[in-house]
Structure 1
């Protein structure tokens, strides 16, 4: 599984505007719902919010990987967003989250869902790569960096 199988260039948001966890989740969910007609925005925001209630998807080092399973979705899809200032996402390390990778999976995709989460985690673990993402000038550069890093694995 490659990140580029999950993420398309038009699902990269270089300048998230939300200032709270619900704002950012909604902003990313709106992008996915606009592209994928099988996704109903209220359903996706509810799934992502419910997952956050179970425990924050912010894993530290400025990274959050909100995710959930949604009826009607036929394959794993994603969106990537960057927030210049960072948002309090109840991170494990207490710091703000700046890099967000949302994953939405079909309801019956336990193993693929976990593989996608592991792939995104591995992609974002390198500090120098995260620094490059934070310094990228726009969405096109962000996508190119993600694609290039993804091809190393």
Structure 2
């Protein structure tokens, strides 16, 4: 599984404006909400927040991977965003998160969901990649960096 299979260039954002967990999750949910029809569309931030209640998805080193499973979603979809200021996301290292990779998975997709989480985690262990993304000029550059790094695996 390659990240480009579930992350498209138009779902990458170089400047999230949120200053807390809720507003970051709202921003990350917005493109997916626009894609979905019906009542579920407005509830995506709450679905991600419910998952956060089980434990923060802030994995440390400035990275968070909020995720949730959704009824009615047909395929795994990712949304990536960068925050220049950083946000207290309750990360395990106690430091702010700057890089956010949200995953929205079909309700009955445990295998693919876990594979995607593992792939993202492995990718973002690279300090060079994290630094390059923080320094990237725009969303297109961020997408290219992610895809190029992913090709190494």
SS of equivalent to 2:103: strand
Q: Who is 1:149 aligned against?
A: 149
Q: Does 1:102 align with 2:102?
A: yes
Q: Indicate how the Cα distance of structure 1 residues 133 and 13 shifts in structure 2: closer, same or farther if over 3 A, else same.
A: same
Q: CA deviation at 1:39?
A: 8.0
> Distance between the aligned counterparts of 2:125 and 2:38, measured in 1?
32
Q: CA deviation at 1:45?
A: 1.4
Q: Who is 2:137 aligned against?
A: 137
CA contact (8 A) 1:39 1:73 kept: no
Aligned-CA RMSD value? 1.2
Unaligned runs of 5+ in 2: none
> Distance between the aligned counterparts of 2:135 and 2:78, measured in 1?
21
Q: Who is 2:62 aligned against?
A: 62
CA contact (8 A) 1:71 1:107 kept: yes
CA contact (8 A) 1:38 1:73 kept: no
CA contact (8 A) 1:33 1:39 kept: no
Unaligned runs of 5+ in 1: none
1:101-130 CA-to-partner distances (Å, cap 9, x unmatched) read 000100100111100000100111100110
CA contact (8 A) 2:33 2:42 kept: no
Give the TM-score taking structure 2 as reference length: 0.96
Q: Who is 2:86 aligned against?
A: 86
> Distance between the aligned counterparts of 1:30 and 1:137, measured in 2?
22
CA contact (8 A) 1:6 1:78 kept: yes
SS of equivalent to 2:17: coil
Q: CA deviation at 1:42?
A: 2.6
Q: Who is 1:33 aligned against?
A: 33
SS of equivalent to 1:130: helix
Q: Who is 1:22 aligned against?
A: 22
> Distance between the aligned counterparts of 2:42 and 2:56, measured in 1?
20
